[in-house]
Amino acid sequence: MAASETPSNSDAPAPLSKLEEWEDFLQLRYPEETAAGAKPKEQFRNYEADARPSVREFYRLNHRHQTYDFVQAKKKEFLSLSRRRMGIWEAMEFLNTLVDDSDPDTDLSQLEHLLQTAEQIRRDGHPRWFILTGLIHDLGKILCLFGEPQWAVVGDTFPVGCAYSDKIVFHQFFADNPDSRELKYQTRTGIYSKGCGLENVHLSWGHDEYLYHVVKDYLPTAALYMIRYHSFYPAHRDGEYQQLMNGRDKEMFEWVRAFNPYDLYTKSHKRPNVEQLRPFYQELISAYFPTELRW
């Protein structure tokens, strides 16, 4: 087995120079003018051919290693939430210590990105819990600081344990996933049953699922859907995996779709004034969360 095939933390290469490369690729695939769902079919482009080699390699690793067993192992490893105890703002500052190849002069920090997202939601007059969700939605990326490889933290998520939708980007890389040779995992519903509900479905492991478990006791259901499924592009943008959803999922995905433009299109080069915004957000955080959460 070559080093690049080894799904352990230390051996995993980090093809992306920064996590935002994945998000830039999402913006390329889902440009803003089509956010309302008016994407004309004739404008189809081959995004895979346009992707940077680093992005391509990132998806190759993600699709190769996100198996059903891998997801179970990561849930066992992380969902006891026994690594740290910290408040939300502290977690934001912790995430901010994530250093990649970004340029500090032009690139915004993780904390600044979170504030940009929240501020746009606030400007649009959405409820307080929605603003708070924008603020915290990417805090699960601290998994990187626990030594997890990029392909197990970010990337479009998809169900494991059933067939891969052919709408998933770089679908061809699933050929190297051992699950693709397990017949029980390769039917339309796989190990699940029709309409079983997403709470019974295991998605590929990453920052969405991890953060959901950290905050699940403190936020309204719609907020929890936004957090848990914001990277589930095959479902919320491409309409796939309806067969696994129940009525509540379908209803709540309206919120996931409402959140998506803020996730994708609020990043600008305009730096938010962290110190000025801090009191508003610390008050908002304390309205919903205890002083310390388990991570």
Q: Read off the tokens for 226.
A: 């936004």
End-to-end CA gap in the chain: 33
Specify whether the CB–CB gap between 162 and 185 falls below 8 A. Answer: yes
Residue 162 vs 214, nearer CB to Fe ion: 214
Residue 173 vs 212, nearer CB to Fe ion: 212
Question: Residue 10 has what DSSP assignment?
Answer: T
How far apart are CB 230 and Fe ion at their closest, in Å?
A: 5
Strand ranges for the chain from DSSP E: 85-86, 293-294
Helices then strands, each counted (H, E), the chain: 12, 2
Cα distances from 153 to residues 4, 21, 35, 45, 208, in angstroms, run: 17, 13, 25, 27, 8
Residue 5: count of CB within 10 angstroms of its CB: 12
How far apart are CB 137 and Fe ion at their closest, in Å?
A: 6
How far apart are CB 207 and Fe ion at their closest, in Å?
A: 6
Place of tokens 């690729």: 25
CB-nearest residue to Fe ion: 138
How far apart are CB 184 and Fe ion at their closest, in Å?
A: 30
34-51 burial, b at 16+ Cβ within 10 Å, e below that, comes to eeeeeeeeeeeeeebeeb
Which residues lie near Fe ion (CB under 5 A)?
A: 138
Q: Read off the tokens for 283.
A: 């008050």
Residue 179 vs 263, nearer CB to Fe ion: 263
Specify whether the CB–CB gap between 89 and 281 falls below 8 A. Answer: yes
How far apart are CB 264 and Fe ion at their closest, in Å?
A: 10
Residue 98 vs 196, nearer CB to Fe ion: 98
Residue 64 vs 267, nearer CB to Fe ion: 267
How far apart are CB 279 and Fe ion at their closest, in Å?
A: 26
Residue 116 vs 162, nearer CB to Fe ion: 116
